[in-house]
Chains A and B, each alone.
Chain A
Amino acid sequence: VFGLLLLAGIVGGELVKRMLNLPRIVGYMLTGLLLGASGLNLLDEPLVDESWIFLEIALGLVLFELGRRLHLDWLGNDRWLLATSLLECVLSFAFVYLALTAFGVTAIYATVAAAIGVSTSPAVVLLVAQELKAEGQVTERALNLTALNSVAAFVLATMLLAWIHHDYQAGWTMVVLHPVYLLSGSVVLGYGASAAAIVFSRLLGKHAERQFVMLIALIVLTIGAARMLELSVLLALLAFGVFSRNVDRRYDLMPVDLSSVGQIFYVVLFVVGGAKLQLTDLAAGGALGMVYVAARFIGKSIGVMALTPLSGVRPGTAGLLCIALTPMSGLALAMVHQTTTLYPDFGAQLATIVISAVLILELAGPIAVQYALKRAGEGRAEEK
């Protein structure tokens, strides 16, 4: 059955690519939607549950790759990019919070939902960029902004955990120590993994194939360690990526391309992602989901439009960046999931708000990113 899932995903991806010229991941998701609970119901709950290891590795790879794209030197050389990121995060948080409370959502739910909305989907932006073999200012800036807002969303969501713990009358140690443990533990784990990668690469020498296998091994190992220690897999892998790009001052690590091995995991990620979506949620979240999506887009756009021109890029870049930052998906769901496991009651209520938004942006997001990157002329394929 698992093989069928993969095969169906690949076929769906190709169909969507060839017939509609949309990103393959839209096809993967539609396949999932068709086979999943909302469609033929072929992908039942146990199968989806069994695939968690694939999902985890897929997200781990995505975040590692994204982390490697975050170039800290650049933030020093172009301070306006850093400023853009800060403003974009603050405004999208503020707009979503205000919009949701205006529609009568309780403050604590609105805050957590807003924090989750700060992040752009790393998987969607990275995979669409890889599919188009895109490079250029819109691509690189979108990836760096995505990495930064993912970090911001993580930190915010984790700090809010403290508040939730408090609300649920957990002990003081839980309120303070759990978020601190989660954040610092994940970062330390990521740093440790990158230090190990650098040491191993020095031993292995400059051989792309060996370094490739070594990195995959360390990624899987880090995922395992994060789960065992109940840390955030996502943050640990993102940190692993960031450190291995920015700490390796002797350039022992080679810039190996992991996308080939990633592909199989990404298909599973999006097919299962699609299968999990329940169209009934759309109706339930309905109007509120639309409000959420709109407020988030406006907040991000104001931030990006206000400061991006100061980076000295071509006119039009800012607008396309706004579009490229719209996707939400796996990461947001994972964050909802994190709270759901701790406090099922709280998670469920939050889920209805966020999931309908994710449903909209999961399908529209990849199309938006593809549009932005193609419009910027950054895809490799088209010769204009």
Chain B
Amino acid sequence: MTDMLFTGSKELSVGVELELQILNSRDYDLARDAADLIGLLEKTPPPGAVKPEITESMVEVNTSIHRTYDSLVAELKVIRDAVAQAARRLDLRIAGGGSHAFHMWADRRIYPTERFKNLLELYGYLAKQFTIFGQHVHIGCPDGDAAVYLTHILSRYVPHFIALSASSPFQQGEDTSYQSSRLNTVTAFPLSGQIPFVHSWSDFLAYFEKMRSYGIVESMKDFYWDIRPKPEYGTVEIRVFDTPLTVERAALLAVYAQALARHILMDRPLPPERDVYTLYNYNRFQACRYGLEGKLVDAYTRRTVSLREDLLDTVKLLASHSAALGNGGVLARLATDAEAGRTDAAWLRQAYKERKSLNDVARLQSEEWMGKAGAPS
């Protein structure tokens, strides 16, 4: 039970995990060189951590703990450059984006660790289809009760996170018509979804113990929830973001969630509301399908609003919190992009329209993420 002890962390600290695509430089399909890439990065480790993910075409990078946008983005750039440079030495390319545009899931191979092999055994083909790429944002919480409350209130804002990060319009060589098709893949897992409607850390522990006693889960890792408390880090982890095309965007999304969390934990603006979960899947679908053009049914006001308007109002509301966290006007960039409809999904569709080849989309995607890092001078 000690693994479920909530070790409170510095309040409102922020940390980011990014799942990244490893591509070959020939046709820009997914490659299978995760082990070589991770091995090479171990020789001169960048800050944070580099880890394998479920298939050999993925790599996960983690930042350390930050408080401001500036320090977060600075570290993300260092990590990006290190990964990009190592990749080039192996003739690989790295890209952001929530999905690879044209890889075939059946070609994927599971990264050979005990845990991933067990996942393949259990979930079958879903394990290979899980070659999708997300950004996880950790927000530091003082205690378990605060984490449970924060999780419930953040759930109302999940459509914001989805629409802002959406970058998986293509799957298996086709335009899905979704802005984020990645989350449809997550939904197929039996332990995906949301936290149960409990109100304290002790109630949550009771639920967790019940699931553990049935043998359904062993640890929090087994819940593929959109937002989950992470007791050993003392954080709430938001997992609905698609990996953006650039690290700058990733940092921006992280500090948006951080400012929102500050508002929720300090102002306690809303009580947990069961209807958030009643409406949850529909609102989530709207955000995945239409992005910022989608509709949001507000469980608190019982009105249907435009997702974009709701987001812009929230950004205004958060100005003082963002400033207090030392992030000044960075959220204004988010608002400007949202107003102009500049999203990563739109960028990818535009790239396809111009180049008429998904190989080129994947190439441009990798150039966007890597920049000039590691290229011979």
Contact = CB atoms under 8 A, between A and B. Distances in A.
B152 interface: no
Interface string B344-377: 0000000000011101100100000000001110
A206 B33 contact: no
Contact of A135 (B31, B40, B89, B112): B31
A245 B24 CA distance: 14
A383 B109 contact: yes
A74 to B, nearest CB: 4
A78 B91 contact: yes
Interface stretch (A31-39, A291-299, A307-315): A307-315
Nearest to B88: A77
B43 interface: yes
B25 A73 contact: yes
A76 B359 contact: no
A311 B89 contact: yes
A135 B24 contact: yes
Nearest to A205: B356
A255 B31 CA distance: 15
A245 B91 CA distance: 14
B31, B36, B43, B91: which has the most chain A beta carbons within 10 Å? B91
B39 interface: yes
B107 interface: yes
B35 A314 contact: yes
A140 interface: yes
Contacts of A137: 33, 36, 90
Given A78-B89, A314-B39, A383-B109, A136 B32 contact: yes
B110 interface: yes
Contact of A77 (B91, B110, B112, B363): B91
Given A73-B25, A77-B376, A135-B32, A206 B357 contact: yes
B26 interface: yes
B69 to A, nearest CB: 31
Contacts of B32: 135-136, 378
A80 to B, nearest CB: 9
Given A206-B356, A251-B363, A384-B112, A71 B36 contact: no
A342 to B, nearest CB: 38
B222 interface: no
A380 interface: yes
B376 A76 contact: yes
A254 B40 contact: no
11 contacts: A77-B89, A77-B374, A77-B376, A135-B24, A136-B33, A206-B357, A254-B357, A313-B40, A313-B90, A314-B39, A383-B109
